[in-house]
Amino acid sequence: MDIKGQVAIVTGGASGLGEATAIELARLGAKVAIFDVNLEAAKRVAEQTNGIACQCDITNSESVEAALEKATQALGPARILMNVAGIGTAKRIVAKDGSAAPLEEFVRVINVNLIGVYNISRLFAAHCASLIPGEDGQRGVMIFTASVAAFDGQVGQQAYSASKGGLVSMTLPMARDLAQHGIRVCTIAPGLFATPLMKTLPEPVQESLAASIPFPSRLGKPSEFAELACHIVTNNHLNGEVIRLDGALRMAPR
Ligand SMILES: NC(=O)c1ccc[n+]([C@@H]2O[C@H](COP(=O)([O-])OP(=O)(O)OC[C@H]3O[C@@H](n4cnc5c(N)ncnc54)[C@H](O)[C@@H]3O)[C@@H](O)[C@H]2O)c1
């Protein structure tokens, strides 16, 4: 799909990998709607990308429907959905004091990273399925952001790994479901990227994380994630696939 002139939604577009994706989409000529719970930060990126900011909690159907309506009114119907919003956590299932991990924490992460992504994807897919198809009978494309933790999750990462593993497992059946509607679905599983979250870690920790990446031995640049996300949009034969973007990193247990 040609990105130029398309309307694209980027969840989590107010920060990190989502922000870089919004900037790259705008550079390639898309009209971008930033869907994020953080409206102030979303507005900052919207200004930079000449797009619009929509306050949106992906776990809440009314919030997603309102944001989709706002984006459609302002920019026209979207054919690209970049699912980048997500949260992280680390909790051992049995804590050092012997107590069991709180269930609420597991539920919270699954709710945002897996159920939230499914929620906006189902509403976007229904919206897209009603559009007139373009080249190759294509109506839309959506991308999930998983993590290498879906495959090699570390100590304490049960909730995060399960949520991202859910996205990996959902990719093919959703691509199969949506084939009849001309909508493609792919997933990127990033390794370690230099986003604001990562930059809050002490310098030595960042350096040791970077050293664990075989080549290139540095954190991924958000722009590299954005380039792959945009390539998936332009390459019509990529569908139902999960792509690791990690410099050959395989994470150790801790
Ligand atoms: N940074 C990395 O190294 C890395 C590695 C692997 C996977 N990922 C995944 O990439 C994605 C982006 O990571 P990042 O480092 O850029 O994070 P980030 O914290 O910089 O950005 C995430 C954005 O998502 C938004 N968000 C959170 N919950 C939301 C919700 N319910 N509805 C709408 N928006 C919500 C936040 O407000 C924030 O703007 C996440 O899904 C993360 O799990 C990141």
Q: Is 12 in the pocket of ligand 1 (CB under 6 A)?
A: yes
pTM of the model: 0.98
pLDDT tens-digit map of 84-126:
999 998 899 999 999 999 999 999 999 999 999 999 999 999 9
Q: What is the mean pLDDT of the chain?
A: 96
Q: Is 197 in the pocket of ligand 1 (CB under 6 A)?
A: yes
Q: Is 15 in the pocket of ligand 1 (CB under 6 A)?
A: yes
Q: Give, in words, the CATH class of 7-191+221-243.
A: alpha beta
- Domain boundary assignment for the chain: 7-191+221-243
Q: Is 247 in the pocket of ligand 1 (CB under 6 A)?
A: no
The per-residue pLDDT for 95 is: 94
Tell whether the torsion through CA atoms of 143, 24, 45 and 67 is positive or negative: negative
Report how far ligand 1's centroid is from the alpha carbon of 15 (Å): 7
Work out the pLDDT band at 213, boundaries 50, 70, 90: very high
Clarify whether 160 is annotated catalytic: yes
**Out of 35, 106, 124, 160, which one is annotated catalytic?**
160
pLDDT tens-digit map of 150-181:
999 999 999 999 999 999 999 999 999 999 99
Above 90 in pLDDT, residue 203? Answer: no
pLDDT tens-digit map of 137-158:
999 999 999 999 999 999 999 9
Query: Which residue has the least CA distance to atom 41 on ligand 1?
Result: 86
Which mutation among 9, 57, 84, 188 tests ligand 1's pocket best, with the greatest number of atoms within 8 A of CB? 84
